[in-house]
Each structure stands twice: as C-alpha cells, then as structure tokens.
C-alpha cells in the first residue's frame, strides 16, 4: 500500500465586504425558500391526513 501525498489546501482568495454580504443574502434567501417548501409540504400532508377524500 502506497501513501498518497496530500496537497496543502489552497488558501481561498479574500472576499470583498460587498461579495461577502451578497453571499450572506443569498444564503438567507435560500434558507427562507427551503423553510417555505418544508412548510408547504407539511401543510399538504396535514390536509391529506385530515381529509382522506382529497388524496390523489
């Protein structure tokens, strides 16, 4: 078995404050979208459980 040499991780380039703020806004929007979709799915499941006639 041969040992593999690990490369040193390349340092990330420094982000400007503007770029960092944009990334944070996108992360926040993505989090909201995911939360909204989960909430809608829970509501659909709850409706199906409460009203079996509405199931497809």
Q: In a structure prediction context, what are the per-residue pLDDT tens digits for the chain, which is 56 residues long?
A: 566 777 777 888 899 999 999 999 999 999 999 999 999 999 999 998 887 665 55
pLDDT value for 37: 98
Is the model's pTM score more than 0.85? no
Domain contains 50 = yes
12 within domain boundaries: no
Domain-located, residue 30: yes
Task: Output the average pLDDT for the chain.
Answer: 87
Max CA pair span of the chain: 63
Round to whole Å and give the CA distance between 13 and 38.
35
49 within a domain of the structure (yes/no): yes
Separation CA 45–CA 54 (nearest Å):
11
Tally of structural domains, the chain = 1
CB-facing half-sphere around the CA of 53: CA atoms within 13 A: 0
The range of the structural domain enclosing residue 40 comes to 18-54
- Please report whether residue 10 resides in a domain: no
């Amino acid at each position: 078995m041969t040992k593999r040499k690990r490369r040193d991780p390349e340092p990330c380039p420094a982000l400007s404050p503007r770029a960092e703020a944009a990334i944070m806004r996108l992360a926040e929007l993505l989090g909201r979208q995911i939360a909204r979709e989960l909430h809608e799915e829970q509501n659909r499941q709850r409706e199906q459980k409460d009203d079996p006639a509405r199931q497809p």
